[in-house]
Structure 1
Amino acid sequence: MNLAFWKKKKEGQTKKKSVVREWFDAAIFAVIAATLIRTFIFEAYTIPTPSMEKTLLVNDFLFVSKISYGPRIPMTPLAVPFTHHTLPFTQYTKAYSEAVQWKYRRLPGFSEVKRYDVVVFNFPEGDTVALEQNDMSYYKLVRDYGRENVWQQFHVTSRPVDKRENYIKRCMGAPGDTLSIRDNVVYVNGAEAPVPPASERRYNVKTTGDPLNPSRLDELDIDPNPMGVGDSGSYRYDFTPGAVALLKTWPVITSITPYVKQQQADVDVFPHDPAHYPWTEHNFGPLYIPKKGASVKLDSSNIAIYDRIIRIYEGNKLEFKNGRFYINDKPTDTYTFKMNYYWMMGDNRDNSLDSRFWGFVPEDHIVGKAWLIWMSYGKGNIRWSRLFNIIR
């Protein structure tokens, strides 16, 4: 293999490369080819949490298509090949350098992000904990201890956009949509959103007094441990729509009803302003999802929704003084969006940290479309029925 193909050989030159040199050239070529494929065509990804169950299961191994939405040009190009943000077998050692930073650019793809696609993206809140965690742990740390204390005590780092944690959710709202949630049912532009057939939702179950048979639940791939136990045969479980239809035929069950949290305005829910937006994770909105080129009027009641977009995602200086908003030192009462934004939610709605808690996902955070399950295992066995399934 001749990597220096541009150099013209001298006449009669027949020097043969050593075996070590041949292997070295082959290794360099393999690294370059694999890096280009990973960056511009597809990348492997593993499901770490149950937030998408049962559409996707923990320890599903996926291929994520970069070309579906157009591959994103690396914004942090100086990095160790085949790593994300830390070196293997280390917790805090960066696998990249910020000496060179490129602006966001994306090559053409086959389509835009479509409503109800399953999408991989970089965590948009920006601050990530360099520790193994479940889906909710970073958010809970910030809520309980405050962001500054979390930074100091739990090794939080602020990473470049393309080096933040990868998340996977379903796009429930596209740019320009209006989304709302009523009694844990999602509505988009006034119409009820379709329910993914393998998604889970929490239900209240009433029985004749006897508990459900845990062995039969396990056979149906249902967690036999109830989420809550009440009086007089009342239980709470996570079910798929198909499981609900089947369980309603069991004589021991008298009723199955969707669980809806009965609570007042929740400060943990986006935009964290219960005085103006008394929303909860089960009753939310209506909320407009920003579209590139669209403008909104700014006032004290809605600035909590758009503050992070203006300051962090689109890099402006935002101030409020003398009763007026100033963007980049210019007084204004409107803002025009520079990017498209998306609303992402887990299929396992009652066990998912998603847009209900941290808001919009900017287009520059989009990694790719979840495409194919190439391997899956659980309980010590390969899940053969899941191999080579297209993700929908």
Structure 2
Amino acid sequence: MSLITGLLYAALAVYLGGWYTGRWHGNFSLLLFVLTVVTLGYWLAERYRFKPAREAAATQLAQQNDARRAQLAAQGITQVDTDITQARERLLMQPWWLDWTAGLFPVICAVFLMRSFLFEPFKIPSGSMIPTLLVGDLILVNKFHYGIRLPVINKKIISNNEPQRGDVMVFRYPVDPSLDYIKRVVALPGDEVAYINKKLTVNGKPVEQSQLPQFYDEDTLRYFDQYSEKLGQVEHRILVDKDRPPFVPPQAVFDFPNKELCRYSGEGVVCKVPAGHYFMMGDNRDNSQDSRFWGFVPDDAIVGKAFVIWMNFGDFKRIGFFN
């Protein structure tokens, strides 16, 4: 068993190494599921086979020792220097391959359940959601807000709240489902959404907007026009780059499902959101690859609702809830 366990750890090291170096995409949900199942197998084997066998061996050792002492006492020998305490402890000791498998099961299982059904941490990798979320923000995502989903396959089994305009949502990137993206919901199933000349309209009504002081981006060392925007009941900030054209370059648009529901022009894009799908945009409007480029997000791709920054090691003042 020690050899099998060593091989399993070697396979895990190879998988994580290839993932870290970019040789292949990893699936953390699947990895956690596999680790939970494997450590559960070891935990059950330890509880119902290996631990009882060690305890039986320790009991047998004690019985043999008692029998030997009784035999020696019958011969009049009472001074016996045999101490089996250390030997008994060695027999009861859990071997390393069980300590590093069965011993880890409760922790891995707790992480798997919490991450699958309650909250999942994410790190913001890009500036597409500036100024709401900055690169390096560590956020928490509520996994049950939009319903309970089975881990790995992401199948909804219990419904809860429906996504609303203005929600900041994490979802599986439609182009590559192994990646998670974060954007803001701007249009719901059945909505007609238009982003024309950098103005957002939903169902023919312009989204409320008011200008704020310019935003200075420390990464690009540039100032951007900043606005307060209200989507549904959510008021948040957006950035607009006045030097960028309003249209989406044709060569940058993917051939996505239901693309025929979108009309592209030199002024921007107009889309009719199909049933069971959502139109997503980044708050950094001219520096975000979103639904304008790769299409609609289906309901079965939803991961959860982002709601709090729990840490930013470069700026502790970032910690807190956000819209």
Q: Is 1:178–2:192 an aligned residue pair?
A: yes
CA contact (8 A) 1:271 1:277 kept: no
| Secondary structure of the structure 2 residue equivalent to 1:50 | coil
Q: Secondary structure at the match of 1:30?
A: helix
Q: 1:238 to 1:264 in 2, by over 3 A?
A: closer
| Identity value in percent | 32
1:31 alignment partner, SS class:
helix
- Map 1:200-279 → 2, pairs under 5 A: 225-226=221-222, 237-241=223-227, 258=242, 261=245, 266-269=250-253, 277-279=263-265
What is residue 383 of structure 1 aligned with on the other side? 315
The CA deviation at 1:277 is 3.5
- Matched residue of 1:27: which SS? helix
**Alignment CA distance shift 1:7-1:222 (3 Å):** closer
How many Å separate the matches in 2 of 1:42 and 1:57?
20
Is the Cα–Cα contact under 8 Å of residues 269 and 279 in structure 1 kept in the other structure? Answer: no
1:263 Cα deviation from its structure 2 partner: 6.4
CA deviation after TM superposition for structure 1 residue 22, in Å: 6.0
Does the Cα contact within 8 Å between 1:270 and 1:355 map onto a contact in 2? no
Q: Going by fraction, where is helix more abundant, 1 or 2?
A: 2
What's the counterpart of residue 93 of structure 2? Answer: 18
Residue 363 of structure 1 corresponds to 299
> Which residue does the alignment assign to 2:124?
47
Unmatched tracts of structure 1, length 5 or more = 77-103, 127-160, 204-216, 227-236, 243-255, 292-339
Distance apart, 1:373 and its partner CA: 0.8
| 2:207 corresponds to 1:193 | yes
When normalised by structure 1's length, the TM-score is: 0.50
Query: Which of 88, 102, 119 is equivalent to 2:169?
Result: 119
- Which structure has more relative contact order (CA 8 Å, sep 6+)? It is 1
Looking at structure 2, the residues matched to 171 and 107 of structure 1 have their Cα atoms a distance apart, in angstroms, of 22
RMSD: 3.9
CA gap of 1:26–1:193, structure 2 versus 1, over 3 A, is farther
Inter-partner Cα distance in structure 2 for 1:111 and 1:197: 32
Residue 288 (structure 2) aligns with: 352
Code of the residue aligned with 2:93 in structure 1: it is: S
Residue pair 1:122, 1:165 contacting (<8 A) in 2 also: yes
SS in 1 for 2:265: coil
Give the CA deviation at 1:113.
1.2
For residues 196 and 390 of structure 1, the distance between their equivalents in structure 2, rounded to whole angstroms, comes to 22
1:289 paired to 2:273: yes
State the SS of the aligned residue for 1:370: strand
One-letter amino acid of the counterpart of residue 384, structure 1 = F
Q: Is the 8 A contact 2:131 2:284 kept in 1?
A: yes
Supply the distance in 2 between the matched residues of 1:70 and 1:196 (Cα, whole angstroms): 34
Q: How far is the alpha carbon of 1:240 from its aligned partner?
A: 2.4
CA offset at residue 34 of structure 1? 0.7
Q: Deviations over 1:302-354 (max 9, x none)?
A: xxxxxxxxxxxxxxxxxxxxxxxxxxxxxxxxxxxxxx000010000110100
| 3-state DSSP of counterpart to 1:261 | coil
Match of 2:68 in 1: none
Give 1 or 2 for the bigger CA radius of gyration. Answer: 2
The answer for the alignment partner of 1:304 in structure 2 is: none
Separation in 2, partners of 1:370, 1:189: 26
How far, CA to CA, are the matches of 1:107 and 1:40 in structure 2? 11
Where 2:115 maps in the other structure, the secondary structure is helix
Structure 2: gaps of 5 or more residues: 1-41, 60-88, 229-239
The number of residue pairs the alignment matches comes to 230
Residues 1:165 and 2:179 aligned together: yes
Find the aligned partners of 2:166 and 2:189 in 1 and give their Cα distance.
13
Q: TM-score scaled by structure 2?
A: 0.59
Tell me what 2:15 maps to.
none
Contact residue 183 and residue 260 of structure 1 kept, 8 A: no
